[in-house]
Amino acid sequence: MSVTMSPESAPTSSAPGTLLDLEAAREKRTTTRSAAAARERTAELEGLIARDPGNYRVLTGDRPTGALHLGHLLGTVANRVRLQDLGVEVFLIVADYQVITDRDDAGDLPATVREVLLDYLAAGLDPQRSTVFTHSAVPALNQLLLPFLSLVTVNELERNPTVKAEAEAAVLRQRRGISGLLLTYPVHQAADILFCHGNLVPVGVDQLPHLEITRTVARRFNQRYAAARPYFPEPDALIAPSTTVLGSDGRRMSKSRGNALELRATEDETAAFVKRAKTDAERTITYEPERRPEIANLLQLGAYFTGSTPEGLAEEVGAAGAGRLKALVTEAVVEGLRPLRARRRELASAGPRYLDEVLARGNARANEIANRTLDDVRGLMGMRY
Ligand code: TRP
């Protein structure tokens, strides 16, 4: 198992020297949240949300690098729809500028953005209640990046575990340098979240250090420019309830690994995906996530789509073995995704007009909010002329 490094355990590349570094060293002792603490806080938040959904605004999103897959649905998309249906206001950013953090060719972005939008809508996102927008269409959001960048040190950015991992991948796998945008994208994400005063960010545990940068930016901005009345919220992480979905090769499902099952896949492709999925040499099916991760993954998938539990499903299959398990899982995924895929086909066959309209409305709403925030920020910073 890989251990996610928390910012405080990460090595510091240079001794604290500057004022910002000293400030950071002082803050870190009190503000960094462990995964366990974030889980605890998530349980508490769920209670608060159920009671008063109107107090919360969710901001999250995806990089438009391709159509969404099963990992997206179970990891976050279903949770967003659940929050929306609870009455929480949901903002989804299709982070087009993030696509070019680690590549030169972003592909056909308009087509990819429409695919992502189709997946959102098919999964139950309601454009009447939720807002979908893209980075590049909201100039005021992007301008927030400038004051925000002044609030963090290069040291802090280089120490961020997610940036570190992605920088390593860029250098080792792709043999390219670390772009300035890659180094600074957690601060860009702070702008994504704070422009609309988002106070709830559904993330995986591995994304916690990111959110920590957003919280730092909000806190430092408030201290510096809005001491009397804090302007930005310090957003909370809402840890996703479901576990990591594995791809056909037994590694975490991801588009770039080519091991993913896209939501838009056909039933035949779904069956082929499950058939390819790695299992192990033991005949009897048991639910042991640590010892038998591939079998556990199949059991979790089956359980998710049938509303049973992985343990129950393991018992049901038992000595019938992996072949029987795979047949069950194929059936569960095909049936479970049937309504989503039907809606998706219907929306896709209606052509791009409706999708473009949804996005234009989302972008207009995001611009309205971002313009107001930037104006407030200019005022607070003494830059209104
Ligand atoms: N980095 C996220 C992803 O790749 C997308 C994203 C952009 C995001 N801005 C965000 C997520 C702000 C949460 C909050 O999936």
Give the dihedral of Cα atoms 102, 206, 152, 163; nearest 10 deg.
-30
Q: Is the CB of 95 under 6 A from ligand 1?
A: yes
Residues facing residue 243 across a β-bridge: none
The pLDDT tens digits along the chain (385 residues) read 333 333 333 334 444 456 666 656 655 544 456 788 888 999 999 999 999 999 999 999 999 999 999 999 998 999 999 999 999 999 999 999 999 998 899 999 999 999 999 999 999 999 999 999 999 999 999 999 999 999 999 999 999 988 888 888 888 877 888 999 999 999 999 999 999 999 999 987 778 888 999 999 999 999 999 999 999 999 999 987 666 899 999 999 998 889 999 999 999 999 999 999 999 999 999 999 999 999 999 999 999 999 999 999 999 999 999 999 999 999 999 999 999 999 999 999 999 999 999 999 999 999 999 999 999 999 999 999 9
63 Cα nearest atom in ligand 1 = 4
Nearest CA to ligand 1 atom 15: 62
Q: Is the CB of 189 under 6 A from ligand 1?
A: yes
Does ligand 1 come within 6 angstroms of the Cβ of 192? Answer: yes
Q: How far from chain centre, in Å, is Cα 213?
A: 15
* 189 C-alpha to ligand 1 centroid (Å): 7
Residue 197 backbone class (left: φ over 0; alpha: ψ -120 to 50; beta: rest) = left
Give yes or no for a contact between 185 and 258, defined as CB atoms under 8 angstroms apart. Answer: no
Q: What is the Cα–Cα distance from 90 to 80, expressed in whole angstroms?
A: 7
Our answer on whether the CB atom of 101 is closer than 6 Å to any ligand 1 atom is no
CA 62 to ligand 1 centroid distance, Å:
5
Taking CA atoms, 292 is separated from 135, 241, 251, 273, in Å, by: 41, 21, 13, 19
Query: What's the whole-model pTM score?
Result: 0.90
247 within ligand 1 shell (Cβ under 6 A): no
Cα(177)–Cα(154) distance, rounded to whole angstroms? 16
Q: What is d(CA 112, CA 114) in angstroms, rounded to the nearest whole number?
A: 5
Mutate to test the pocket of ligand 1, among 57, 58, 63 (most ligand atoms within 8 A of CB): 63
Distance 151 CA to ligand 1 centre (A): 20
